[in-house]
Amino acid sequence: MAASKIHQNGKPKKTRTKSAKAEAKPKELSALDAAAKVLAETGQPMSCKEMIEAMAQKGYWSSSRVDEGGRKCGRGTNASPNGPPC
């Protein structure tokens, strides 16, 4: 039996469409992909800290666990309840 566009109650079936917001949003790079891109652009060896700073500066990737001052934040297993906010 062929699929029809009419529901069994006689009304037309509703079709789902992707929203413009979902289609327009570009996929973010992973940390590994962003690091590879930064290393390829600079062409020189970099430390982890240098790579993370360069990735954040260029807008490729940023860690949600590090604040603007470079301090770790959040609520880890050993974190104080009154630890630094993010």
Summarised one tens digit per residue, pLDDT across range 27-82 is: 778 999 999 999 999 999 999 999 999 999 999 988 765 556 666 555 555 656 66
Q: What is the pLDDT of residue 54?
A: 93
* Secondary structure tally for the chain: helices H, strands E: 3, 0
Establish if 43 belongs to a structural domain: yes
Domain limits for position 59: 27-78
- Is residue 3 in some structural domain? no
User: For residue 66, what pLDDT is reported?
Assistant: 56
Predicted local confidence at residue 37, as pLDDT:
95
Which structure tokens are listed for 85?
């906010």
Per the structure, the count of domains in the chain is 1
Neighbours of 34 (CB within 10 A): 21
Q: Does residue 40 lie within any of the structural domains?
A: yes
Q: Which residues touch 67 (CB under 8 Å, ≥6 apart)? A: 73, 84, 86
pTM for the model: 0.47
Asked if the structure places residue 52 within a domain, the reply is: yes
pLDDT in the model for residue 11: 80
Report yes or no on 73 lying in a domain. yes
Residue 64 lies in a domain: yes
**Is residue 42 domain-resident?**
yes
pLDDT of residue 51: 93
Question: Is 10 part of any domain?
Answer: no
